[in-house]
Amino acid sequence: MEATPDLDQRLSERALSKLKWRCRRGLLENDLFIERFFARHESSLTVRQAEAMGTLMDLSDHDLLDLFLQRKEPEPAWAGADVVDLLRIIRV
């Protein structure tokens, strides 16, 4: 049986590298938000935040940009508190 990861543990270098690769987007505007986020926070990213970012990366480019620009808010059906918290950090 595999152990459940500690969600508040810092992200490993390998996991960070994979996350950065997954976060590459088709719209430059999204990439700018994401690059700024990584520049400020990559050394302290947690497993919890990486999972929340994965949820955001499942969205279309236009839906993601709307969230970043606060043109819409995340829907409770797919976005938990971790996603909402991450969006708040990214938008700053």
Whether 38 maps to a domain, the answer reads yes
Whether 12 maps to a domain, the answer reads no
pTM exceeding the 0.75 threshold for the entire prediction: yes
What is the total count of domains within the chain?
Answer: 1
pLDDT tens-digit map of 5-52? 699 999 999 999 999 999 999 999 999 999 999 999 999 999 999 999
The domain in which residue 67 lies consists of 30-91
Whether 48 maps to a domain, the answer reads yes
For residue 5, the 8-state DSSP code is: P
Whether 25 maps to a domain, the answer reads no
The owner of tokens 């690769």 is 21
Whether 63 maps to a domain, the answer reads yes
CA neighbor of 83 nearest in space, from 45, 49, 36, 32: 49
Supply φ then ψ for residue 16, to 5 degrees.
-65, -45
- Position 3 scores a pLDDT of 61
